[in-house]
Amino acid sequence: MALDVPDLADDRIRLRPPVPADVDAVTAAVQDSAIPRFTRIPSPYTRDDAVAWVGAATSAWRRGEEAGFVILGRDRDALLGGIGVHRLGSVDASPFIGYWVAAAARGQGVATRALRLVVGWAFGPLGLERVTAWVYADNPVSPRVLERVGFRRDPGEPTALAHATGPRPAHHFTLERVDALAG
């Protein structure tokens, strides 16, 4: 079942599904070595990878399986990053959120703003009860972003999570709908 595309924006950013016109900007942004280091995005990342991502995101929206967004500046269409909710409708695992921010947009609250918008949509119109996120243990920034939005790090030692370079230690974070609405 196709997902309805929400209008997600605040006074500084807006989110929308990726379109073919985003391919070059996504390709350029993902050349930053921090993005493949701290995400599961492949490196090297080519224009063909971006074309495939846009196509896959479009198909996933139609199937209701994933909701991928580009993060854009509110006043300009400058690409600031990407964020998505994955595994929608999975009976085996909770939906999880992943994101990245372009180097020029880091340190400006972009990830926190985008995450708040997506979480509000996930717990509101989507009706999810729980969302999760994985963060590689050597990522110093994403835990703070998640915690600002209300995610809690699950106790225990990091778990090995797949990465292009091989399994790497990662922490699991969870946000329950009831906690998000109470906060």
Per domain, the residue ranges of the chain are 8-131
Q: What is the per-residue pLDDT across 149-167, written as a single tens digit (0 to 9) for each?
A: 999 999 988 899 988 888 9
Residue among 97, 61, 85, 74 nearest 15 (CA): 74
Residue-wise pLDDT for 28-64, tens only, equals 999 999 999 999 998 899 999 999 999 999 999 999 9
pLDDT of 3: 85
Tokens of 121: 């949509």
At 91, the pLDDT band (50, 70, 90 cuts) reads low
3-state secondary structure of 107: coil
Has domain 8-131 been given CATH number 3.40.630.30?
Answer: yes
Do 73 and 110 touch, CB atoms closer than 8 A? no
Query: Tens of pLDDT along 95-113?
Result: 999 999 999 999 999 999 9
Q: How far apart are CA 179 and CA 183, in angstroms?
A: 6
